[in-house]
Amino acid sequence: MNRYSVLLDANVLYPAPLRDALMQLAVTDLFKAQWTDDIHREWIAALLRKDPQRDPAALERTRRHMDTAVRDSLVTGYRRLIPSLDLPDPDDRHILAAAIVGRCDAIITQNLKDFPAAALAPFGIEAQHPDDFFCNQLSLAPGLVCSALGKVRARLQNPPKTADEYLATLTRQGLVAPVRTFRDRR
């Protein structure tokens, strides 16, 4: 198992296409993916705010599946650090605290401005946008990344997606550079 460890912020676990891509990549052991119960609550609450008709029980099943599919993913024991941390958005301190306790190398987040390099550097942690993270993973193991994303696309049945449709979905999720690389390889 690779020692590179990342904490996944709630905003990369919802929407589902990005979460599914990250989870499939996480089970390859190219990196260690981590999160917390608080992060789970955040992404589930965000999804239910946007789509109140969603079945909360189905989302809890997804949560449980994530926790069991990716070994050692759940970070605990981080709350004591929260008051000592300083970030632009105090509500994000739990993310940094979990990354510290989880000994993460990076926080994967859509909100880079909320995790300035100066605040993370003393802990040896960096914030990465998912676009950069996928590019980095693609440069390390292109076949593994392509295979993982192919598995996600193959599971899509309602409706099924062509390769181009799936790549368009990933682009809408902010994965612009890796999608460009996939298209160039075809």
- Give residue-wise pLDDT tens across range 47-63: 999 999 999 999 999 99
Q: What span, in angstroms and rounded, lies between the C-alpha atoms of 95 and 79?
A: 10
Angle at 174 between CA 50 and CA 32, to 5 degrees: 95
**What is the value of pTM for the model shown?**
0.95
Percentage, residues of the chain above pLDDT 70 = 98
Mean pLDDT of 13-20: 94
Q: Where are the domains of the chain?
A: 5-129, 135-185
CB-CB contact of 143 with 45 (8 Å): no
Per-residue model confidence as pLDDT tens digits over 137-176: 999 999 999 999 999 999 998 899 999 999 999 999 999 9
CB-CB contact of 120 with 9 (8 Å): no
User: Could you tell me the pLDDT band of residue 186, with boundaries at 50, 70 and 90?
Assistant: low
Per-residue model confidence as pLDDT tens digits over 75-95: 999 999 999 999 999 999 999
Tell me the CA distances in angstroms from 170 to 35, 76, 119, 149, one per residue in order. Answer: 22, 31, 30, 10
User: Could you tell me the pLDDT band of residue 185, with boundaries at 50, 70 and 90?
Assistant: confident
pLDDT at residue 2, as a whole number: 59
pLDDT at residue 56, as a whole number: 96
Q: What span, in angstroms and rounded, lies between the C-alpha atoms of 21 and 15?
A: 11
In this structure, which topology does domain 5-129 adopt according to CATH? Rossmann fold (3.40.50)
Question: Can you read off the two tokens belonging to residue 165?
Answer: 């449709």
How many helices, marked H, and strands, marked E, lie in the chain? 10, 4
